[in-house]
Structure 1
């Protein structure tokens, strides 16, 4: 009997997944550190800037923005991975609705003769991390790059994210809110709850203070599980939290609040990536629910 030979498929993502370089190595995946621009200097997440570094820059009200990896950086990494013995790559960047990275990568992949598959999974943060873990599981099971890409894209919208922003400073700098609206909201302690349902960041609600925002996000997750995801078995749903908390105790308090609301789930907390934090500012709270592959 002939022995079946699987394709060696590498899984690649970026730090918008919330996966650190150290964690990526542990998981056996590859990762692109996303650039962050502070003033005139560019830093790479987890390589030349930490979350604490970024938060300190925000406290100084410096000009901060996110950026994309250069095409040369991306293709150099692809070439290195393929030269190391992999037959193909599945690259899962952040949602095409939130960045041009996905479209740019898809264009670059056309020159690789079907050896690089760019999956537009329409996710970010904890939901993107779940997709990456699913992809690694599928690769280990012997699925091809094409099969993994197709499955990721087929279930791309089985996810919800909610984010509450404590400060409007960086939403204002990014042009997502006008200076007048930001000033008015600050005076009356009005905080936005934003949502990501696939392609883009939308306004979901406005509440007086972060505690009410957190309550609203929990209610939204409960409603999603009860309605949108009612046909997905409990064991194929993950609920997770994220944020840009400066104080670890505040991060744990948010995680515990969600754990109390969802006692049947194992709730974890992950810092939002530096690229996301560039837009949300400090002490934002987020949570998501996402479908995972059946194990």
Structure 2
């Protein structure tokens, strides 16, 4: 069965970048001033953080149904019979349901894996799925491998701006006010355990203490040399370098990288957020 591998801009990659890998993608949407823009296509990550520096309140939403259906129609006309999707997780977006509905409307078989996160893991999983398919693995075998990746994945978010979370409806006004007065830094997590929703792990007084606690959480989860560890920052590269140096000292032989926090997360956490995402890589 001819299978198309489909994801979205939660990967942090443009439609064109993923197309070079033979992967199809649809952009999520970022909105302000009553206008929807295509994530990474009409608004770059840098432009999004520039708008946030100017105090513009942004929101995000799933890709337009029209774009999903148009892509799937195009794939069917090209002879594809099945979609295999790794979209942004269901806890953050309704993209999975939208893709499944559009596939049914168009008349394509649909299979997916919920990554329970987004960003680097999402990109790694869709690329791994395509590689395994090319090696002759069945859809069920691919799902089993991706599920093992999900089981080792965690994302810890260290937001710097509680007021932004408050304005975005992610914190109660009282919690945000108290947090601001006491200079509390919440440690948030998103993973399979939280069903892809953002949950609170703990609260500390400073960003650097939050970083130390995040590293301790990673140690308790037995992160080792087989892991990819990504620090993703929301418009604060200096603190990201500081964070990464701490992580490298704790896990010197893991694979490391620093990226900009994907816009569909950074819009909600606010500028200054430092995130760490880690997962066990599959041995090829």
Distance 1:92 1:86, change over 3 A: same
Q: Which residue of 2 aligns with 1:14?
A: 8
Q: Which residue of 2 aligns with 1:128?
A: 122
Q: Take 1:69 and 1:150, find their aligned partners in 2: how far apart are those partners?
A: 27
- If the length of structure 2 is used for normalisation, what is the TM-score? 0.89
Cα deviation, residue 92, structure 1: 1.0
Q: Which residue of 2 aligns with 1:186?
A: 180
Q: Which residue of 1 aligns with 2:233?
A: 243
Instruction: Give the secondary-structure state (helix, strand or coil) at the position aligned to 1:177.
Output: coil
Greater Cα shift, 113-122 or 73-82: 113-122
Greater Cα shift, 49-58 or 276-285: 49-58
Residues 242 and 287, structure 1, Cα contact 8 Å, conserved in 2: yes
Structure having greater relative contact order (Cα 8 Å, sep ≥ 6): 1
Are residue 97 (structure 1) and residue 127 (structure 2) matched? no
Q: Take 1:293 and 1:26, find their aligned partners in 2: how far apart are those partners?
A: 22
Cα deviation, residue 172, structure 1: 0.8
**1:173-212 alignment to 2 at 5 Å?**
173-198=167-192, 199=195, 200-212=197-209
Cα deviation, residue 63, structure 1: 2.5
Cα deviation, residue 109, structure 1: 2.8
Cα deviation, residue 234, structure 1: 4.6
Q: What are the ranges of 5 or more consecutive residues in structure 2 without an aligned counterpart?
A: none
Q: What are the ranges of 5 or more consecutive residues in structure 1 without an aligned counterpart?
A: 1-6, 227-232
Instruction: Provide the aligned length of Structure 1 versus Structure 2.
Output: 281
Residues 238 and 292, structure 1, Cα contact 8 Å, conserved in 2: yes
Are residue 217 (structure 1) and residue 206 (structure 2) matched? no
Cα deviation, residue 212, structure 1: 1.0
Instruction: Give the secondary-structure state (helix, strand or coil) at the position aligned to 1:267.
Output: strand
Residues 72 and 102, structure 2, Cα contact 8 Å, conserved in 1: no
Distance 1:182 1:69, change over 3 A: same
Cα deviation, residue 153, structure 1: 4.1
Cα deviation, residue 249, structure 1: 3.5
Distance 1:262 1:82, change over 3 A: farther
Distance 1:244 1:196, change over 3 A: same
Once the two structures are superposed, residues 192-248 of structure 1 have per-residue CA deviations (whole angstroms, 9 ceiling, x without a partner) of 11001221210011111211111111111111126xxxxxx853x3222212124x3
Q: Which residue of 2 aligns with 1:278?
A: 267
Are residue 70 (structure 1) and residue 64 (structure 2) matched? yes
Q: Take 2:72 and 2:100, find their aligned partners in 1: how far apart are those partners?
A: 13
Instruction: Give the secondary-structure state (helix, strand or coil) at the position aligned to 2:154.
Output: strand
Q: Take 2:122 and 2:15, find their aligned partners in 1: how far apart are those partners?
A: 15
Instruction: Give the secondary-structure state (helix, strand or coil) at the position aligned to 1:195.
Output: strand
Residues 6 and 83, structure 2, Cα contact 8 Å, conserved in 1: yes
Q: Which residue of 2 aligns with 1:59?
A: 53
Cα deviation, residue 121, structure 1: 2.8
Once the two structures are superposed, residues 100-140 of structure 1 have per-residue CA deviations (whole angstroms, 9 ceiling, x without a partner) of 22123223333455533232232212222221222122122
Are residue 108 (structure 1) and residue 102 (structure 2) matched? yes
- If the length of structure 1 is used for normalisation, what is the TM-score? 0.86
Residues 174 and 279, structure 1, Cα contact 8 Å, conserved in 2: yes
